[in-house]
Amino acid sequence: MAIVHRLLRSAAAAFSPAAAAARRGLSALAAEQTLERNVQWVFLGCPGVGKGTYASRLSQLVGVPHIATGDLVREELASSGPLSQQLAEIVNQGKLVSDEIIMDLLSKRLERGETKGESGFILDGFPRTVGQAEILEGVTEIDLVVNLKLREDVLLEKCLGRRTCSQCGGNFNIASINVDEGNGKPGMYMPPLLPPANCMSKLIIRADDTEEVVKKRLDIYNELSRPVEEFYRKRGKLLEFDLPGGIPESWPKLLQALNIEDHEDKQCAVA
Ligand code: AMP
């Protein structure tokens, strides 16, 4: 893992075509370092699809950290550090933060994890552009990329229903989704994930979960992140997963698709 964060950091400092070629040359070295290691997975999918929910559950099961670049950005925003004003403007408009800032936040997160003995990861929200995917490919091997999919109207409803408890940090969703697919296809039901009574009065809504900003984020996903799916599809690493409904329905099917058994043994992942 050390090599990953060091190389990501040097990637943050060196954004030029020549540097990109040099980074690619380092991939063999990085692969050598990761022959015996925990899984390195990526979760792709539109805003609101549930990357955080499923990546976080899987990370506990597989025993690797769940690293969401959106969380790293929000932590930086909350810290009121030198970057926070600049980041707030970008994030609240639904735009992407620069590769340089994201690489810096991610490499620092990996470094902190390394000092705690972490190895492997499930990345959520990164890579979000083909450029980021190329940088990642230049520094380490990704074993599997899970592409979570849901209809766009459902994504919007889910984003608008998202709530976080400002005290315990718990994530909830008040949207009750009941979609009739028509044409004899099975409908989709996603019950709300309601907070416990003691969180009710402390719920907050993300500043970028307004209808206008969510639509903008979906447009940006289609323009800049959709090509990342093709990037990994071409490499034979993309696992497409259409969410069939809420967590109770989707979780067992996702585990089945990943060939993972959900029992007490944390080492049951087949990468
Ligand atoms: P998320 O929680 O993944 O929806 O991310 C929230 C916001 O953080 C995004 O709308 C972007 O502004 C920023 N962000 C997160 N990950 C990245 C990334 N890999 N590249 C650029 N911006 C990002």
pLDDT, tens only, 58-86: 999 999 999 999 999 999 999 988 889 99
| Active-site position among 37, 95, 202, 206 | 206
| Distance between CA atoms of residues 156 and 56, nearest Å | 21
Q: Give the Å distance between the CA of 203 and the centre of ligand 1.
A: 22
Integer distance in angstroms from the first to the last C-alpha of the chain?
17
Name the residue with higher pLDDT: 269 or 262.
Answer: 262
Q: How confident is the model at residue 262 (pLDDT cuts 50, 70, 90)?
A: confident
What are the DSSP E strand ranges found in the chain?
40-44, 66-68, 121-124, 144-149, 162-165, 171-173, 177-179, 188-190, 203-204, 238-242
Residue 99 confidence (pLDDT) above 80? yes
**Structure confidence by residue, pLDDT tens digits, 245-259:** 999 999 999 999 999
- The residue whose CA has the least distance to atom 19 of ligand 1 is 126
Q: What is the pTM (predicted TM-score) of this model?
A: 0.85
Best mutation site among 97, 208, 217, 223 for ligand 1 pocket (most ligand atoms within 8 Å of CB):
97
- The finding on whether 52 has its CB within 6 A of some atom of ligand 1 is no
Q: What is the CATH number of domain 2-10+43-258?
A: 3.40.50.300
Average pLDDT over every residue of 85-99: 95
Q: Residue 125: what are its φ and ψ, rounded to 5°?
A: 90, 5
Q: What is the mean pLDDT of residues 122-136?
A: 97
Read off the pLDDT of each residue in 128-148 and give the average, rounded to a whole number.
Answer: 97
Give me the mean pLDDT over the 83-111 stretch.
94
Domain ranges for the chain, please list them: 2-10+43-258
Q: Is 88 in the pocket of ligand 1 (CB under 6 A)?
A: no
The verdict on the CB of residue 102 being under 6 Å from ligand 1 is yes
Tell me which residue has its CA closest to atom 11 in ligand 1.
96
Ligand 1 centre from 270 Cα, in Å? 29
Q: Quick one: CA torsion of 94, 100, 105, 110, rounded to 10 degrees?
A: 130
DSSP conformation letters of 59-75: HHHHTS-EEEHHHHHHH
CB of 217 sitting under 6 A from ligand 1: yes
